[in-house]
Structure 1
Amino acid sequence: MVELYIVRHGETDTNYTGKINGSATDLNLNETGKKQVKYLKEHLNIDDYDEVYASPLKRAQETADILNEGKHEIKTDSRLREINYGAWDGLLADDVQAKYPQCFDENNYLSANYSDFSEGAETYKSVLERLQSFIDDMSKKGDEKILVVCHGFVTRSFVQLVTEAPNIEDILEPINAGVTKIKISNSGRTYLGYYNRLENL
């Protein structure tokens, strides 16, 4: 059975200031983000893992570097990149919500219809398709523990795929440096082990 330990990157300045933080916003971790990841590292033994995969974005790469401690090759996979919010990427979420309230749910997350309004935006369906491709590839690994460093919306999308939740709005965003565990059986069936932990991994 394959075990995926999916880590959301540490905090960036766009997280802190409440900006829409997609793949077109490519920042390093801020000091808080570095501290969050270092705290996680205290509860994670990198020697327990067979492989490390990461999104190509700077915040995920830096998170992976801190956790990996130079032990494994970090394999960059573009399927793990954050959703591209198009023209809204990098804008203050409050400003966008004031203009397009119909594109936000009651938790102030963007709804799937947002891509009808933001030019150049990636659809939620597109994210699910590339992540399913990633899961399919990981299912062929045999008995491995794999660390996967990515993003908030991507983590929610992984959980939606595994649980078959009809609406991603039912899944709250994980905290920065939170870990989600997914198991893939030899038959290819997926299971959610836990969601959004910092300890007891």
Structure 2
Amino acid sequence: MKRKSIYLIRHGETDLNRQGVVQGSGVNAPLNEWGEAQATAFFNAYQHVPFDKVYTSDLIRTHQTVRGFINQGIAHESYAGLNEISWGIREGREPNTGDNNYYRELTQAWSNGNVELASEEGESPVQVRDRQLPVIETILSRPHERNILVAMHGRAMRVLLTTLFKQPLFKMDDYGHSNLCLYKINYSYDTGLFEIELANDITHLLSLEIPQTV
């Protein structure tokens, strides 16, 4: 049976993550010190896996998250199709009640089935899915890549997972995520089906000391 194992991870923490600032695809923030520690912990836990390829979004926080694997000489491809959803004109702003209410209403509309609704000057879940599909097709067209590592973003991961499992997009919030979490997904070329082996797994981070906040 021909299979592909996909190790799907969310990027490590950025300062904006910690501050509760929405980054989306328009804010290209780097990892902070804790995010770098998360990346190192993941590398230490999974450096033994014989990855054939590393796939990332075009944003620096995903590149930095998998730097250890790329430095091993593993081939790397970057796709804008894996970027985070664009949250529009509110990206990068300090958290405030007005924006928080806007995001809450927007995501509630998505949960209610209005997945074609885009954020103001941003994207809808349907638009994110549509730009992910060519990347998914590219990845699946390479059966010789038996183990791959894919680093991307929280909301984009939720869209991707519902797409892989042929679920409606309004179910995307069923897939939890945290910084540097892992979904291990196995794909069968014989059946064309995906199965989840690990979901939102962070056991590789348990050895880290919780960062002190000031």
Structure 2 counterpart of 1:103, from 80, 105, 113 = 105
Provide the alpha-carbon RMSD of the alignment. 2.7
Residues 160, 38 of structure 1: alpha-carbon distance in 2 compared, 3 angstrom cutoff:
same
Structure 2 stretches lacking a partner, 5+ long? 205-214
Cα distance, 1:68 vs structure 2: 3.2
Partner residue, 1:15: 17
Runs of 4+ aligned residues of structure 1 deviating over 6 Å after TM superposition are 109-112
Residues 137, 47 of structure 1: alpha-carbon distance in 2 compared, 3 angstrom cutoff:
same
2:84 is aligned with 1:82: yes
TM-score, structure 1 as length reference: 0.84
Contact 2:10 2:182 in 1 (8 A): yes
TM-score, structure 2 as length reference: 0.80
The separation in 2 between residues aligned to 1:191 and 1:17, in whole angstroms, is 34
Q: Following superposition of structure 1 onto structure 2, how do residues 1-201 of structure 1 map, counting pairs within 5 Å?
A: 1-45=3-47, 48-100=50-102, 103=105, 116=117, 118-143=119-144, 144-166=146-168, 167-187=170-190, 188-199=192-203
Residues 159, 114 of structure 1: alpha-carbon distance in 2 compared, 3 angstrom cutoff:
closer
The separation in 2 between residues aligned to 1:128 and 1:43, in whole angstroms, is 30
1:122-163, Cα deviation, whole Å (9 max, x unpaired): 110011122232222211211511111111112111221133
The separation in 1 between residues aligned to 2:23 and 2:130, in whole angstroms, is 20
Residues 192, 161 of structure 1: alpha-carbon distance in 2 compared, 3 angstrom cutoff:
farther
Structure 1 stretches lacking a partner, 5+ long? none
The separation in 1 between residues aligned to 2:34 and 2:103, in whole angstroms, is 30
The separation in 2 between residues aligned to 1:175 and 1:186, in whole angstroms, is 29
Contact 2:115 2:125 in 1 (8 A): no
